[in-house]
Structure 1
């Protein structure tokens, strides 16, 4: 009896769980599925949250995070991986060591340190560990405005500031490429991103989508980049196509709950 066996690229997300399904692991797996990539996960923390906010966060033991990563990589293997909320210094260090030991390539680091509104999410020690242990192993990092300020030491209020920050981060932190996101910028810069890979300094613009339902856009973008890398696309193409995907998902954002809803990851189904 013959069995049909389909070979499919595999991506790994190392991030937190969002009970409301708008960000984190849940969003990453939906994004992987949209791109026809098999999604695997290592959960770093469990949050109780919905469209109105986050009400509780429980960290996973670092040993549990390590065990999840090894279980996936040593059996299934991954073509690309991403990190999201790592929560504390111990988990960040453990993840960095596993990435190095297991030689995980095509690593996308979404340095979840500060929210889009400017609230710091992890402590200073954790930020330093992220900066020195994990980011240098990344193919690309995707900081928002406030995270880019911390990593570059610059105040970011203009497009020129974003460009300078991207170049400083690239020079100082060792990552192959930097994408400074403009979702937290105002006016005409809202949603404008800046790319730098040591040679090319590019500005990525797409149409602005007016919606309050933008929860999970950062996770979605980094997950889409990861999926595209798993599919074998080059880094610049992966970023361009990921940004287009996020823009379309924003167009079909979900007006659910009483607060800020998520983007519509499965928009082809919504069209039906």
Structure 2
């Protein structure tokens, strides 16, 4: 009997479909994985703004994780929006309980619209509970700045920042350079061995960039689920996101930041 590459996303729902659970599941499907989901919050959201957040109780989040991992299991886990310290702690403890591996943490703090998605007191919980068990963490520059408590704004800042983030326990750190003002979008992958690699892609002029962080981290998880190395998974994920941005740039959806085209390899 054949089996699937099993990928689990633990994140918030985006009613507009461009980010969160919806972007994760689309990415998993596009990359040939069987996607499962644990909802941490419902958001009323579109391309312009987040107008409401309805949190899921921590105990029920744990129930969802247990239901999936006790029966189906997961070859990789992507973690996105976790809004409170209590949620962060219960997610980390439940994943440890079931021996989850290949954990990709996207420390979502602010939506593309600028709306805050993480409570201030939750940052310490991320450092304490989730960073130590993560295989890869994928913060952008503002998220890196919050985690380290200092400004990380230039390409020169990124390697020292990655080294310091790795001290929290994650085996691999991908500091994303989407907020740089350079012509290329350069991401830095820092490994536990001390090696580092730059992944630079042309910067694409588009308003359709909603859900890029969710999509990239989910694509990395898909690679890990298919037993690729971290470097291979990150490289393939960068290529997938670049094509999704390029293809999605010619579409119009909504009146704000539209989504990338997750299924460019299936239809256009």
TM-score, with structure 1 as normaliser: 0.93
1:268 is matched with: 265
Range moving further from structure 2, 254-263 or 44-53 = 254-263
Q: Which residue of 1 aligns with 2:246?
A: 251
Partner SS, residue 48 of structure 1? strand
2:18 to 18, 22, 41: 22
1:102-251 aligned within 5 A = 102-115=98-111, 120-170=116-166, 172-188=167-183, 191-198=185-192, 199-251=194-246
Matches within 5 A, 1:24-103: 24-103=20-99
Q: TM-score w.r.t. structure 2 length?
A: 0.95
SS of corresponding position for 2:258 = coil
> Could you say what the CA RMSD is over the residues aligned between the two structures, in angstroms?
1.5
> In structure 2, how many angstroms separate the alpha carbons of the residues matched to 1:115 and 1:200?
31
Verify the 8 A CA contact 1:114 1:146 in the aligned structure 2.
no
How far is the alpha carbon of 1:120 from its aligned partner?
A: 4.5
Q: 2:144 and 2:42 mapped to 1: Cα distance? A: 26
- Identify which range, 172-181 or 147-156, moves more after superposition: 147-156
Aligned residues: 265
Q: What is the CA deviation profile of residues 65-107 of structure 1, one whole-angstrom value per residue up to 9, with x for unaligned ones?
A: 1111111100001000010001111111110111111110000
Cα distance, 1:175 vs. partner?
0.3
CA contact under 8 A between 1:80 and 1:106: conserved in structure 2? yes
Q: Secondary structure at the match of 1:183?
A: coil
Q: Quick check: 2:30–2:265 contact (8 Å CA) kept in 1?
A: no
Unmatched segments (≥5 aa) in structure 1: none
Contact kept in structure 2, 1:116 and 1:144, CA below 8 Å: no
Q: Is the 8 A contact 2:138 2:174 kept in 1?
A: yes
1:28–1:87 CA distance, 2 compared to 1 (3 A)? same
Would the aligned equivalents of 1:116 and 1:145 in 2 still touch at CA under 8 Å? Answer: no
